[in-house]
Amino acid sequence: MNTTTKTALITGASRGLGRAIATSLAKRGWRLILTARGEGPLEAVAVELGARALAGDVADPAHRARLAELAASAGGLDLLVNNASGLGATPLPRLGDYPLGTLRDLFDTNVLAPLALVQDALPALRERGGAILNITSDAAVEGYEGWGGYGATKAALEQLSNVLAAEEADVAVWWVDPGEMRTVMLADAIGDESLDAPEPDGVGEILADLVFNRPASGRRRAADLAAGAVTGGAA
């Protein structure tokens, strides 16, 4: 993709993988619209990258409407990165004990909000031959004890992505398992063990390359992309 005049909207961009993706795209000349809940950290990233920023919760319809207005004022959108995500109840409970109200809220954040953003962005993405990058997890496909709530939301996001890829011929749709990274979310989930995980910067570079190379829509694992094991077609 020629990135000279491309614009991307990235959620959860104040830290972790979202910030890493934003940094990698900025180095490739992308214009960026960034959002996250923490205004201070988000503004710091926006200043560093020369991006536009709007703090708020992607589960809030009013905030999504403001993001849509911001994208329109930027002249349209070429890439939507649904990276913002909640972990759910902690310490991670077994499904037999999972608080259903918390799970409902988690689906709002991890499934419904990304789909709502997709719906807002699709007209521009169709017109500009754009792309959607949804960040998922190996918890979507593996049966890890304690990860049932989070994993169920990511499994739902993966299937939404799968169907979107079948329905939207003019838009590339990738859903990516980034692998274990040293993030606040992982630390909240498993504690100090996360200190052994790699920083997300490398995955940010891998995903920026994915966008640039624009393979066919499909599921991807960052580890496979790094190894050159996936070069095109649905994974």
Question: Domain containing 105: what range?
Answer: 7-227
Residue 117 lies in a domain: yes
pLDDT band at 135 (very low <50, low <70, confident <90, very high): very high
Query: Does residue 34 lie within any of the structural domains?
Result: yes
Catalytic residues: 150
- Tens digits of per-residue pLDDT, 211-223? 999 999 999 999 9
pLDDT, tens digit, for every residue of 166-190? 999 999 999 999 987 666 776 666 7
Contacts of 163 (CB under 8 A, 6+ apart): none
Query: In CATH, what number is assigned to the domain containing residue 150?
Result: 3.40.50.720
Per the CB < 8 A criterion, the answer to whether 39 and 55 are in contact is yes
* Domain total of the chain: 1
Instruction: For residue 83, tell me if it sits in a domain.
Output: yes
pLDDT-based confidence at 199, cuts 50/70/90?
confident
pTM, whole model, 2 decimals?
Answer: 0.92
